[in-house]
Amino acid sequence: MTEITSLSLFELIKNIKEKKISSNEAAKSFVDRSQKSKKLNTYVTENFENCLKLSKEFDNKPNFDLKLPGIPIAVKDLFCTNEVRTTAGSNILNNFVPSYESTVTQNIWNEGGILLGKLNCDEFAMGSSNETSFFGNVQNPIAKNLVPGGSSGGSSSALAANLTPVTIGTDTGGSIRQPASFTGTVGLKPTYGSCSRYGIVAFASSLDQAGPMSKDVKDSSILLEVISSFDKKDSTSIDFKRNNYSSELTRNIKGIKIGIPKEYRVDGMPGEIENLWKKGIEYAKDCGAEIIDISLPHTNYALPTYYIVAPAEASSNLARYDGVKYGLRSSGESLIDMYEKTRSEGFGEEVKRRIMIGTYVLSSGYYDAYYLKAQKVRQLIKKDFDDAYNKVDAILTPSTPSSAFKIGEKSNDPVSMYLNDIFTVPVNLAGLPGISIPAGRDKNNYPLGLQIIGKPFDEQTVLNIAYSMEEKINYKNNITDWWME
């Protein structure tokens, strides 16, 4: 029989429901593999003992009607977990133990999921390579010294290495889709307002969304069904009728119109990305989709807009870390001195940089020139998508302009790091659902992803297209376990 840890979530649930595998056996397998995988540095906080205990409790009193019956799941360390340390990858929250649970994780536990541990991420989710984490770099299981993407880099690495059957990440500018693309896995960012932001450490509130990461498309549909919910505790949560994403999943996408935006052919895009995209278009046609050329004229302005909006919101959100009620405190002679020293020691370089940019663009005399301007351009970017969706049902693009890069390769040049998110950022600015699926390999044999972007609240179509294309692409990660002890 296949090893438990390499089963898909769907298969694992099936085996548990058929009593072929117990929850405790599953928990033991994932804990054991995780313990032998410390070299990847995926976990910030382990919850192994508790997970084993809870899995036994599940087996003693199983409920197979639940959607995640006794399934161990590790989550990004940006979700507050009651009584379990939550760091957001930052020194300033090194000792923070929340007294409440995020809605998204609560939804998972309510359906029978069991917390395996908290996964490494870029500090406050600010990064595209997991290199800004206070808890160190994460290795990509695909190859040694390769970044796993970011900010949900611990999540993508743990998933690709079979340390967790599925996981959840958060995506502000690509933080689910880019790491999924870098690790040959599937990552879905839902429509803004689908998954509650309650209890997620805030980065940029108008952009942040939680979403599933999984080994295949079906697993993402199962997890999305669990985590997507209307929540009164999040003032921007939207009350719309959510599908039963997994039972409504179909490969029949005949006649669906898929747009190909010409502006995504960016200057200097490697030939292999261009080829991947062309192949993707052929796959989509094979699946029965109709391909239509479209234009998203303001694509080139998305990244500059994002690098005003996101830091502005971050500077405001991170003002709460003052060393008074929780988190790190450095000693100072006066209150202000204490604040300044706490924040200087508590935050890493990238976070400080973004707080400073945000503070600057919101400061007196510059607000209109930067923040207001960016909000106006954001409107134009959203309108581009609105116009496109008069003609098409979904949009197909590459997920990233390159495959995973080496650790250290881009960490000294913020702008080149930011360019990683060129294809994912517009989706956040417009609040749309987007998925990345593995679709091929580059010359080094590193995975490459394709992105499918949908209409607001139409995760089902996005999933269906991905599900259909996934079958045609037939991508399989070949992981060699090189890190195992």
Partner 1 sequence: MTIDLKTVKHISKLSRISLEEKKAEKLADDMNSIFEFIEKLNELKTENVEPLTSIAETTLRFRDDKITSDNIREKILKNSPEKNDDFFVVPKVVE
Active site residues: 76, 151, 175
Q: Does 376 bind partner 1 (CB under 8 A)?
A: yes
Nearest to residue 129, comparing CAs of 113, 147, 105? 147
Q: Report if residue 308 touches partner 1, rule: CB under 8 A.
A: yes
For partner 1, the closer of residues 334 and 478 by Cβ is 334
Q: Of 36, 320, 372, 445, which lies in the binding site for partner 1, with binding defined by CB under 8 A? A: 372
Identity of the residue, 287 or 357, whose beta carbon is nearer to partner 1 in the bound complex: 357
DSSP annotation string for 390-432: TT-SEEEEES-SS---BTTSSTT-HHHHHGGGTTTHHHHHTT-
Of the ranges 20-28, 213-221, 323-331, 393-401, which one interacts with partner 1 (CB under 8 A)?
Answer: 323-331
Which of 39-47, 91-99, 137-145, 167-175 is the region at the interface with partner 1 (rule: CB under 8 A)? 91-99
Q: Is 377 in the site for partner 1 (CB under 8 A)?
A: yes
Between the CA of residue 105 and those of 48, 70, 297, what are the distances in Å? 17, 14, 38
Ramachandran region of residue 61, left (φ > 0), alpha (ψ -120 to 50) or beta? beta
Identify which of 317, 303, 281 has the alpha carbon closest to the alpha carbon of residue 398: 281
> In this chain, which of 19, 232, 391, 406 binds partner 1, going by CB under 8 A?
232
Which lies closer to partner 1 via its Cβ, residue 193 or residue 449?
Answer: 193
Q: Judged by CB, which is closer to partner 1: 218, or 298? A: 298
Looking at beta carbons only, is 46 or 340 nearer to partner 1? 340
Decide if residue 109 touches partner 1 (CB under 8 A).
Answer: no
**First CA to last CA distance, the chain:** 23
Least Cβ distance, residue 289 to partner 1 (angstroms) = 27
Distance separating alpha carbons of residues 323 and 332, to the nearest angstrom:
11
Q: Does 356 bind partner 1 (CB under 8 A)?
A: yes
357 binds partner 1 (CB under 8 A): yes
Residue-wise over 76-88: b if at least 16 C-beta within 10 A, else e?
Answer: bbbbbbbebbbbb
Residue pair 25/3 in contact (Cβ under 8 Å)? The answer is no
Judged by CB under 8 A, does residue 150 bind partner 1? no
| Tokens, residue 421 | 């998110």
Instruction: Tell me the C-alpha distance between 436 and 78, whole Å.
Output: 21
Q: Are 213 and 159 in contact (CB under 8 A)?
A: yes
Q: Does residue 256 belong to the site contacting partner 1 (CB under 8 A)?
A: no
**Region 285-304 residues binding partner 1, contact defined as CB under 8 A:** 298, 300-301, 303-304
Within 9-68, the residues that bind partner 1 by CB under 8 A are none
| Residue among 35 and 300 whose Cβ is closer to partner 1 | 300
x-marked contacts with partner 1 along 423-462 as a string, rule CB under 8 A: ------xxx-------------------------------
Token output for 14: 């099936």
Backbone angles phi, psi at 404, to 5 degrees: -60, 145
Are 185 and 177 in contact by the 8 Å Cβ rule? The answer is no
* Buried/exposed code over 415-445 (b: 16+ C-beta within 10 A; e: otherwise): eebbbbbbbbbbbbbbbbbbbbbbbbbbeee
360: contact with partner 1 by CB under 8 A: yes
Determine the interface stretch with partner 1 among 49-57, 136-144, 164-172, 235-243 (rule: CB under 8 A): 235-243
| Smaller CB separation from partner 1, 294 or 377 | 377
Note whether 340 binds partner 1 by CB under 8 A: yes
* Residue of the chain from 8, 418, 471, 472 that contacts partner 1 (CB under 8 A): 418
CB 146 within 8 A of CB 129: no
Closest distance to partner 1 from the beta carbon of 347 (Å):
7
Q: What's the CA gap between 401 and 464, in Å, rounded?
A: 24
- Should residue 335 be labelled a site residue for partner 1 when binding is judged by CB under 8 A? yes
User: Are the C-beta atoms of 321 and 216 separated by less than 8 Å?
Assistant: no
Q: What is the C-alpha separation between 402 and 444, in angstroms, rounded? A: 12
Q: Which of 18, 49, 65, 333 binds partner 1 (CB under 8 A)?
A: 333
Q: For residues 95 and 145, which CB has a smaller minimum distance to partner 1 in the complex?
A: 95
Name the E strands within 328-378.
none
Kindly list the residues in this chain that would bind partner 1 in the complex (CB under 8 A). 95-97, 99, 192-193, 206, 232, 235-236, 238, 298, 300-301, 303-305, 307-308, 315, 319, 322-329, 332-341, 343-344, 347, 352-353, 355-357, 359-360, 363, 370, 372-380, 382, 414-415, 418, 429-431
